[in-house]
Structure 1
Amino acid sequence: MSIRRSCHLLGFSRQAYYKPQALRRELVGLEDGLRSLILSARVACPGLGCRPIYYAHADQLSIGRDKFEALAAELGLQVKRNTRYIRTTKSDQRKFDNLLIDKQVRSINEVWQADMTYYLKGSKWYYLMFITDVYSQRILGYGAYSRASAVHFKEVLKQAIATRKKDGYTNLSGLIHHSDGGRQYEERSYREYCKGKGLKQSMCYYSWENPYAEKTNDLIKNRYLNYWKPTNLHELRLCLKQAVEHHNKFQQKRVLNNSTPIDFEWKIKSMESSPSNYTLNLKPSKPRTKNKKYKLVEISE
């Protein structure tokens, strides 16, 4: 490979190759630019990783992903993840079968995944609830509460349905509402509400069988809330609203061809009247245990 080509791939000039002082100046400039880019991207999303930042600006950068991440690590700009995990799914009997066994998802409003997670502030526990469309990864319903009651779970579900109604989808009959084994999803009023809307309830046995909901929990807490540190329920709700809106509107997803959830849904909706060869399928992956037939669904490009 020629020196000129090598310098271009590494993001340096030929002068930098022959003169170490020039190389140092370019390195300093590159580091300053990289630091500014990452810190600017984290104003709205404090826990945004280096890789999504790179892909969001790859067409404007003169360096590759690996070098970008390596420089970010040297500058101490990598995100430290919170590995604390609280189990919320109970391993006991379920009132509903797992309808996602060998399931392939080919459109929005085909499968929603719901989940609840905890947010701890001091000695106070709060409950965060989400409903996510697995196809577009858009968060449709959410809420923060001081109690985890079926009433609150139903409020989040109503919000998700209202969101889709604004999008022009008034009939959601046949949609699969997938969740863990939380008792609130089994409560009579919740079941009757789902039935009245034509939703088919589905339940997993383990938390990893509810992957998109679990991913939503992780993203909102570890990219936003754990940095903003709301001190009370009112602040938590304001932060949660801001986090969800930013995620849906601005978080580019590689699995969505670098579209945001809302942009991706807009593209899908525009194709309804104009056929396109562009499709996105959710493929089953290998089951984690031999005794379970359930296969996780993954988005593939």
Structure 2
Amino acid sequence: MGRRSPYPEEFRNDAVALFRAAAGRRTYAAVASDIGVTGETLRSWVRQADEQAGRVGGRGRDSEAAESRDEELVRLRAELGRLRKAEKGLEARAGDPAAGGLVFREGDEGMTGRWTFISVHRADFGVQRICRVLRVSRSGFYRWLAGAEARAVRRADDDALVAEIREIHSSHNGTYGVRRVHAELRGFGHTVNRKRVERLMRREGIEGRHLRRRKRTTVPDRLAPTAPDLVRRDFTAGNLDEKWCGDITYVQVGGTWLYLACVLDICSRRVLGYSMATHMRTELVTDALTMAVATRSGRVEGVIFHADRGSQYTSAAFAQVSDHFGIRRSMGRVGSSYDNALAESFWQGLKREALRGALTTVRQARLEIFQWLTYYNTRRRHSSLGYLSPVEFEQQHQRGRRLTLAA
């Protein structure tokens, strides 16, 4: 009998689904690096899943084909929405001459437009005559003309920087705003001013995703015993596994709901455990907590776990699991999102960045959420971590701790 995997079954199944969704476009090693395992480990999970599917036979093929059709329909709807947005440029005045062209139009009154017009028509009418008509000085025009080479160099530099900005923006699914794009550029070794990045992104219409309002889902059980608030809105920690926090959110999938519970390390903001299900029973939060414990190899005694007073977190079953691992429970007040602000902020990021379109199948929703969770841990730069990803922050934190102990 083989050794039991330290990774929960839910995590393994989602990892296999993520690899299969790549449809051969990404290697085992590439997908595995995103989720924090080795390529050989992921390969073995895929092989085991294939063997299990072979034992089950073809009973699930019809449902898989239906889900594939649903996913294709979602993709086509998203493409239709993108094309409709692109058509918005074909409105009234869309046929007007472009700014800076050979003729004036409203908005061309700036000096650059005037200098360009003089430069284009000076052979026909002469610089002096055009400057007199436009009421500008010839010396100003010649100074502008002398700086043409320097402007061309700046434009070339800006164009090259815009190309990199677009690549960064695209590689992060259009979620990064000015600050994170700037941090990514600095991470690549560029010494570029943030205001310049902001100017170019504004000029090109490149922007990150903004916050959206969300519904409150906590349903407290007022008769259940509660735990004291050991965090008191202090969402900072000096060490890993000092404080954790968790919460539940929901995602609409067609005519039903998919519920998601997560556990985050307050020090590193890393997602240590998660669970997704079409119900909101207590095992949703106990499964997420169990995965978090497995991520830390079981060494979690004394960790403070902070949550709201939802019935799942005040239940006897959750208290029993917490006590079993030596985890100290902490709870905020009823109806106060600020008492669990870190988890609330995390959900806003998830819904802003990952769930951008309509979801029609639970399989599709699980895949998109799992893909974002792994991206969040390994690649997404976090402002409170000095624009490092949670995994990078943990690695630096542990290296610094080892050096301190060695000294």
TM-score of the aligned structures, taking structure 2 as reference length: 0.57
In structure 2, C-alpha distance between the alignment counterparts of 1:214 and 1:18, rounded to whole Å:
55
In structure 2, C-alpha distance between the alignment counterparts of 1:196 and 1:122, rounded to whole Å:
38
Q: Looking at secondary structure, tell me which structure has more strand per residue.
A: 1
1:96 matched to 2:227? The reply is yes
In structure 2, C-alpha distance between the alignment counterparts of 1:149 and 1:41, rounded to whole Å:
38
Residues 78-136 of structure 1: CA deviation (Å, up to 9, x unaligned): 12424222112458857121111375621110111101112123433221211110100
- The residue identity in structure 2 corresponding to 1:52 is R
Contact 1:97 1:203 in 2 (8 A): yes
Contact 2:262 2:275 in 1 (8 A): yes
* CA spacing shift, 1:36–1:264, aligned 2, 3 Å: closer
Partner of 2:356: 226
Contact 1:150 1:187 in 2 (8 A): yes
* CA spacing shift, 1:38–1:271, aligned 2, 3 Å: same
Partner of 1:51: 179
Q: Looking at secondary structure, tell me which structure has more helix per residue.
A: 2
Unaligned runs of 5+ in 1: 1-14, 277-301
In structure 2, C-alpha distance between the alignment counterparts of 1:189 and 1:65, rounded to whole Å:
50
Among the aligned pairs, what percent are the same residue?
23
What displacement does 1:45 show? 3.5
In structure 1, C-alpha distance between the alignment counterparts of 2:291 and 2:361, rounded to whole Å:
23
* CA spacing shift, 1:35–1:116, aligned 2, 3 Å: farther
Give the stretch that moved more between structures: 23-32 or 116-125: 23-32
Residue 126 (structure 1) aligned to one of 258, 263, 268:
258
1:65 matched to 2:197? The reply is no
* CA spacing shift, 1:226–1:144, aligned 2, 3 Å: farther
1:148-167 → structure 2 map (5 Å cutoff): 148-165=280-297
What displacement does 1:74 show? 2.4
What displacement does 1:18 show? 4.3
Contact 2:282 2:312 in 1 (8 A): yes
RMSD (CA atoms): 2.8
1:217 matched to 2:347? The reply is yes
1:119-268 → structure 2 map (5 Å cutoff): 119-165=251-297, 170-205=298-333, 206-226=336-356, 230-268=359-397
Greater length-normalized contact order (CA 8 Å, ≥ 6 residues apart): 1
- The residue identity in structure 2 corresponding to 1:105 is A
In structure 2, C-alpha distance between the alignment counterparts of 1:17 and 1:64, rounded to whole Å:
27
* CA spacing shift, 1:171–1:38, aligned 2, 3 Å: same
In structure 2, C-alpha distance between the alignment counterparts of 1:34 and 1:159, rounded to whole Å:
41
Give the stretch that moved more between structures: 146-155 or 50-59: 50-59
Give the stretch that moved more between structures: 101-110 or 27-36: 27-36
Structure 2 SS opposite 1:126: strand
* CA spacing shift, 1:72–1:102, aligned 2, 3 Å: closer
Contact 1:31 1:71 in 2 (8 A): no
